[in-house]
Structure 1
Amino acid sequence: MVPRLDRQGGEVVATAGATRLILRADTPQSVGTGEASATFTVRAGERRSFTVGYRPAYAADAPVRLDAAQAVDDAVAGWRSWIQLHDYQGLYRDEVRRSALVLAAMTSGINKPSLYAAYGSKEELFRKVVARYAERDMAYARDALAQPTAYGVVATLLRDNVLALTRSDCPAGCLSIQGGTAGGTGSAPVAEFLAASRLTGERALADRLARAVAEGDLPPDADPAALARFVAVVTEGHAVHAAAGVARADLEQSAEIALAGFAAAAGIGAPSPAR
C-alpha cells in the first residue's frame, strides 16, 4: 500500500489505512508521490533534527509538540539524579524497575504519542540523550584530540576526564559507563549501544595517535591502537571509581601515573615543565 502524503503546517503526514506517520524536521522537505525528501548541508557544530511519530488515522487530535532539545536535557538531568540515588538488587528487580518507570510516566505529564511524535521511539530518545551528553559533557574529548602533540592529547584527555567525572554540580560518573551497567536483564541493547559509542571514541584517539606516528611525533614502532585502548581503559575505570565516591585528588594522581605509563609505552619523554 502506497501511503498518501500531505503537508500539514510544516509537517509531512503519511496515511495508509488506519496508520498515520508524522514527519517533523527543521529543514524544508519536498513531497512527491509516496516519498518525502530534503536536501541540506550540515557544517561542523550544526545539527539537523528529523523525528517520526505515530498516530492512528482516526485520531482527531494531534500529539503535543515537545521542545526536543529541552526534553533531552531534562532526560540527562533525570538520569544523573536517578542513577546516583536509586538502585535495587533484590528479588523481582526487573518488575520493580518497570513499576518505577510506569510511575515516572504517570507523573511526567507526557503521554506516549507525544513522546514518540518528538523522537520516534524510546530507543531514539536514549540515543539523543547520549548524543547530547557527548556534545555537552564530553566536549573535553574533542578539545583533547585537537592538541598539537600526542602527549598533549593524552594529558588533556586524562586530566579533563577526571574533572568532568567529579563535577560538583552533578552526580559523579559517566553516562556511557553507568548507563550500561545500571539496567536489568532486558538492557543488553543499551549496553551494546554504549559499548559501540565508547569504541568510536577509542578509534578516534587511535586515529589521532596514528597521525602522530605519521608526523614523527611518536616513534614508528608505537602502536596507536594499543595506546588508545590503554587510555580508554583508564578513563572508563576512573568513571567507575568516581561513581563509587573516589575523590578527585586520588583520580588525578592515577591519571598522572597513567600519563607517565603512556609516555613510557609510546617511547617518548614527558615535556619539561615551563619555566
Structure 2
Amino acid sequence: MKKELTPPAVGRPRAFDPDVALEKAMQVFWKHGYEGTSLSDLTEAMGINRPSLYATYGNKEQLFIKVLDRYGSGPVAYVLESLNEPTARGVIEKMLHGSVGLLSDPQHPRGCMALQGVLCGGKESAFVLEHARSRRVAAQEKIRERFERARKEGDLPLSVNAGDLARHLAMLLNGLSIQASNGAGAKELKRAVDFALKTLPV
C-alpha cells in the first residue's frame, strides 16, 4: 500500500504574532515619540530581532506608518465614528468625550501619539512628519465636511463657518492632549470639556 507523504512546510513559521507586536510598537512610539524611539527599543518591546522587524514591517519609517494606521482604526477610531452622530452637537460631544476617555486611560501613555510624537524632528524624519500632518489635515477636512452638511440640513446656523468650527474643535482636541500630558486626570479633562461645550454655537 502506497504511503501518503505530507508535503514539507514552505518557509519557517513566524514565532510571533504580528498584530500583537505591532500593538507593542505603538505603545513604544506613543511613549517616546518617533525620533525618541530606537530600533533597539522596538525590537526589545516587540520581542523580535531586526531581521524579523524588517521582513514583516519594513524599516522604522514604514513601521511607524503602520502604527499610525493601527492608532487611527483602534484608540482614536471614535474621531471618525463621531461623524455618524445625527447632529453637529452630537458629533462634537462624542469626539470630546471620546478624547477624554482615551487620554485618561491608564493603559496608554499620556497624550495623543499622532500629535505629540511627530510635531517636530530632523531631516531624517521629514517624510514621517509630513505623513502625520497630512493625516491630521485630512481628518479635520472630514469634520469640516460634516459641519457643512449640518449647515445645509439646518442643524447648524448658516452664520457658523464650518471650517472655523472644525478648526476650533481640532484645537480643543489638541489642547486636551497637552493638558493630559501635563498631568490632568479624567475629572479635570471632563470639566474642561463641559466648559468648552457651553461656549460652542451649537
Measured against the shorter chain, the TM-score band is: 0.7 to 0.9
% identity of equivalent residues:
33
Give the aligned partner of residue 200 of structure 1. Answer: 138
Q: In 1, are the aligned partners of 2:30 and 2:109 still within 8 Å (CA)?
A: yes
Report the structure, 1 or 2, having the larger helix content.
2
Out of 69, 73, 77, the residue aligned to residue 23 of structure 2 is 73
Kindly state the Cα deviation for residue 174 of structure 1 after the two structures are TM-superposed.
0.9
Matched AA of 2:76: M
Give the aligned partner of residue 38 of structure 1. Answer: none
Out of 134, 140, 157, the residue aligned to residue 95 of structure 2 is 157
**Deviations, residues 232-256 of structure 1 (Å, cap 9, x unaligned):** 0110111111112123222222222
Change (3 A) 1:118 1:103: closer
Q: In 1, are the aligned partners of 2:140 and 2:166 still within 8 Å (CA)?
A: yes
Change (3 A) 1:174 1:254: same
Between the aligned partners of 2:38 and 2:13, the Cα distance in structure 1 is 21
Q: In 2, are the aligned partners of 1:66 and 1:114 still within 8 Å (CA)?
A: no
1:254-269 to 2 correspondences below 5 Å? 254-263=192-201, 268=202
Change (3 A) 1:172 1:131: same
* Structure 1 vs Structure 2 CA RMSD: 2.8
Give the aligned partner of residue 222 of structure 1. Answer: 160
Change (3 A) 1:119 1:257: same
1:118-129 to 2 correspondences below 5 Å? 118-129=56-67
Give the aligned partner of residue 41 of structure 2. Answer: 104
Larger Rg: 1
1:166-181 to 2 correspondences below 5 Å? 166-181=104-119
1:1-275 to 2 correspondences below 5 Å? 67-82=17-32, 101=38, 103-104=40-41, 107=44, 110-181=48-119, 183=121, 186-263=124-201, 268=202
Kindly state the Cα deviation for residue 227 of structure 1 after the two structures are TM-superposed.
0.4
Kindly state the Cα deviation for residue 258 of structure 1 after the two structures are TM-superposed.
2.1
Change (3 A) 1:105 1:252: closer
Between the aligned partners of 2:57 and 2:195, the Cα distance in structure 1 is 43
Change (3 A) 1:168 1:216: same
Structure 1: give runs of 5+ residues left out of the alignment: 1-8, 11-60, 84-93, 269-275
Q: TM-score, normalised by structure 2?
A: 0.81
Matched AA of 1:69: D
Between the aligned partners of 1:160 and 1:106, the Cα distance in structure 2 is 31
Structure 2: give runs of 5+ residues left out of the alignment: 1-8
Aligned length: 192
Between the aligned partners of 1:159 and 1:229, the Cα distance in structure 2 is 17
Report the structure, 1 or 2, having the larger strand content.
1
Q: TM-score, normalised by structure 1?
A: 0.61
Kindly state the Cα deviation for residue 205 of structure 1 after the two structures are TM-superposed.
0.8
SS of the aligned residue for 1:137 comes to: coil
Q: In 1, are the aligned partners of 2:82 and 2:92 still within 8 Å (CA)?
A: yes
